[in-house]
Structure 1
Amino acid sequence: MPRETMLRERIVQTNARNREVTMTPILRERYETPHSRRTFLRRTLLGSVALSLAPLIPERAAATLVHRDESGFFSPQEATVLAGIARAFIPSDTEEIPDPVELGVVERIGRLLSRAHPENQDQFRLLLHLFERLPLLFAGTFTPFSAMPAAQKRAYLAGWGESRLAFRRMAFQALKNLVMLTYYSRDEVWATIGYDGPWV
């Protein structure tokens, strides 16, 4: 057997073992259950319907504590939603874990997006808008995301990550990547993960 073929098979076997260990029942069903074209179209259609219905959902009172973005990129409402998302990803339940909002995660994301393409900026703003307004469709509650208690916010966020709808999973990953990138790049956080900082 050629060496290249042996290496390829070894990689496939290793990936299969890793997936067997780390895959949750929900992810296993998603990736291992065969999906018909009709299933794919139905899930895509559900995502499109959710996007089209969001503007029709009546606005409810948001959280009374409105976060203001000092970078000037986000509106107060957008900043409040993003602050809630950041704290749901990184709950600072103890003094050892710095609060992501107090470390300026919202402002840093705002500065990053201010240099992005206008279309990407609009898409991110739309994502925050959907995240705030879609609990009625996806969680069966009229309470907007920004007004939810902390535990409910975390559960709602987890629902996006485990959703069968691709657009919700993609949105979850985009939000998670941005929050984690901006949070763990702060030297105030390094001690909590045992990182002593760069050697030079």
Structure 2
Amino acid sequence: MYFISRKSFLILLLFCAGIKSKIRYFYFSDSEIKTLTSFSEVVLPIQEPGMPNLEEASVMRRLDEELTFVSDEIQEDFHSAVMVLEYLPFFYGRFRCFSNMERDNRISFLETVAETDSDVVRAVIGNLKLLVCLVYYGHKSTWDSISYPGPFANPPEKWSEARLHYQNLLKGN
């Protein structure tokens, strides 16, 4: 019989836990999903009647899909931007991470940060908002709500090789 040491067992356990957390998303960690979901809930008009929610518009899935295949530099920048957003409230006298704040507190915090002199903070918030809005409004489920008829002549959607590869990864192929 083979005995495994406690250290090897813990390493194996951590490795398996890491695999489990990455099965759902290939690019994002669970904490990043929580932060981006909290941000998207206050930036997007999902509370408005007739507007799709984050799941219907596939916001997190599309962000994960797009950021999985970009260059390492862009991936690192986006990871850093999400981390800055998560811990930024501490620098403004708030004693909670962004994802743990109540919805109204997140809104008031983003309004406070909008008036900052820091170019870095404005760039982080602006770029995250830009990417989230592009993914949300690029989904067909939002088009009727914003009176967008769709592309001229309504051509069929053609998926890139990266999108097809991502779908195959989701299916386990």
Give the TM-score normalised by the residue count of structure 2: 0.69
**Contact map agreement 1:69 1:75 (CA 8 A) in 2:** no
Deviation sequence 1:144-199 (CA, Å, 0-9, x none): 11111111112222333332100011112111110111001111101111112223
Q: 1:174 to 1:69 in 2, by over 3 A?
A: farther
Aligned with 2:91 (options 137, 141, 164): 137
**5+ long unaligned stretches in structure 2:** 1-21, 154-173
**Contact map agreement 1:136 1:143 (CA 8 A) in 2:** yes
**5+ long unaligned stretches in structure 1:** 1-67
Aligned partner letter, 1:104: S
How far apart are 1:102 and its partner, in Å? 4.1
Say yes or no: does 1:169 pair with 2:118.
no
Name the CA distance, whole Å, in 1 between partners of 2:131 and 2:39.
11
Aligned partner letter, 2:32: E
Name the CA distance, whole Å, in 1 between partners of 2:62 and 2:98.
21
**Contact map agreement 1:69 1:79 (CA 8 A) in 2:** no
Which position in structure 1 is the counterpart of 2:69? 115
Name the CA distance, whole Å, in 2 between partners of 1:151 and 1:101.
21
Aligned partner letter, 1:71: Y
Alignment RMSD: 2.1
Which position in structure 2 is the counterpart of 1:197? 150
Name the CA distance, whole Å, in 2 between partners of 1:160 and 1:69.
34
| Counterpart mapping for 1:55-94 below 5 A | 70-94=24-48
Which position in structure 1 is the counterpart of 2:160? none
Identity, in percent, stands at 27
Aligned partner letter, 2:129: K
Count the aligned residue pairs: 133
Deviation sequence 1:100-130 (CA, Å, 0-9, x none): 3442211211111112111221121111112
